[in-house]
Amino acid sequence: MGTDYATSVEQVHRALGDRQYWLARLAGSGADEAHLERMDVASDGSIDVVTTQVLRSDRLPGVVSQFHRGDLAIRREEMWTPVRDSRSRAAVAGSIAGAPVSLTGNAVLMPSEAFSRLDLQATVEVRIPLVGRKLEKFIGNQLIELLIAEQRFTTRWIAENH
């Protein structure tokens, strides 16, 4: 899955390395709680970001609340390489505290006709017998929506802040 940005690879990467970007992105995420757990930007331009977003149990879709009691704490880690040859790559991992759910993937931020494109290949695994595949599909669809919303936010944030 992928999404296009109306900004350059370098501009998107610069935003990913900006603490204010992450704080604004989390504040606008729609989560009931959102935390920037860790953000490290190395001298070579590599970026390591860990976030946690919490959705209260009363807001969870029925398909989720059937299999998970309580609030949903979603932990996400993105480890971006420096921009080299107009590209940056990331390892992405996600998990839900207390739930048999994991996400692993790789992303590439690269030039495109629309200035830049983020391609993400991710695997969602839900280790619940009989219904795991159904939940994986649900989470995958939510991930696509999230990617689109994050692209819109990033494009707007870059336009307003750089």
Annotated domain spans of the chain? 2-161
pLDDT at 52 over 90: yes
Q: Is 41 a residue whose pLDDT tops 90? A: yes
Residue closest to 13 by CA, chosen among 162, 160, 114, 113: 162
Task: Look up the pTM and report it.
Answer: 0.88
* Nearest-5° Cα angle at 89, 86 to 95: 155
Distance CA 88, CA 20 (A): 20
Range ranked top by mean pLDDT from 48-62, 79-93, 97-111: 79-93
Q: pLDDT of 54-80, one tens digit each?
A: 988 888 777 676 777 788 888 999 999
Angle at 38 between CA 151 and CA 150, to 5 degrees: 10
Q: Which CATH class is domain 2-161?
A: alpha beta
